[in-house]
Amino acid sequence: MEAILNDYLEKIDKYLKPLPASERVDIVREIKSEMTQLALEGGLSPEQILERLGNPKELAGAYLGEALVKNNGFGLRRFATAVAFYSLTGLSVMFVLPFTGVLAVSLMLCGIIAPLAGIIQMAGYLLGFDTPFVVVQLGSYLAAPPIAFVYSIAMGILLFMLGRGCWQLTLKLWRSIRERRLRSTGRDKGVQ
């Protein structure tokens, strides 16, 4: 068999790593059989065969995708299959999306709570209340109320900006996924 065809099969085998070895061997064997038939019966050159089969990432991704549809359980193997599938199909951002989304909301929330706490402590200090539930502490350093107020405001602004940044990142990721989806639905139009 031609070197470029073997190369292709090796790539498929590599991308299918999350599947059980016996299944992987069977898949590669079947694709190899298809290649030989395309050459002998279809009269295609190795280059034409590769063009027909398409990007090895896409082909392996299709196998992993079907394996995900079939398997409903949750286990390490399924998780590995999902990770491999999303990375092959360029959808790995799907994993980051919930993370940045939740992070954005919590950071912004903290950004609001921190200065509020600072204001409570400052008010307590000015009016002579004791507010032991609000403390600004960095390691062993305990900030005195007026300075703690400044810190809390600064901290609040910082946290809120971080949250906003995360939120914008989330929106950007979301848009890129949408665009990719739109592009991929227009793709699978079959072979002429």
Partner 1 sequence: MNIEDWKSQIKRGTLELCILLMIDRRAWYGYEIISELESTPSLSVKESTVYPLLRRLLKEELLSSFWQESAEGLPPRKYYSITEKGREYLAAMTAEWDKLLVSIDSIKNGKEGSYGSDIK
Binding site for partner 1 (CB under 8 A): 26-27, 29-34, 36-38, 40-41, 52-54, 58-59, 62-63, 65-67, 69-70, 185-186, 188-192
**Which residue number, 27 or 104, has a Cβ lying nearer to partner 1?**
27
**Which residue number, 36 or 106, has a Cβ lying nearer to partner 1?**
36
| Closest separation in Å from C-beta 89 to partner 1 | 12
Tokens 């949750």 -> residue: 74
| Closest separation in Å from C-beta 38 to partner 1 | 7
**Quick check: 119 and 142 in contact, CB under 8 A?**
no
> What are the contacts of 103-109 at 24+ separation with CB within 8 A?
103/163, 103/166, 104/163, 104/164, 104/165, 104/166, 104/167, 104/169, 104/170, 105/163, 105/167, 106/163, 107/159, 107/160, 107/162, 107/163, 107/166, 108/159, 108/160, 108/163, 108/164, 108/167, 109/163
**Which residue number, 128 or 186, has a Cβ lying nearer to partner 1?**
186
**Which residue number, 140 or 185, has a Cβ lying nearer to partner 1?**
185
What is d(CA 93, CA 179) in angstroms, rounded to the nearest whole number? 13
| Closest separation in Å from C-beta 9 to partner 1 | 13
| Closest separation in Å from C-beta 98 to partner 1 | 27
3-state secondary structure 3-48: HHHHHHHHHHHHHCCCCCHHHHHHHHHHHHHHHHHHHHCCCCCHHH
| Closest separation in Å from C-beta 29 to partner 1 | 8
**Which residue number, 10 or 23, has a Cβ lying nearer to partner 1?**
23
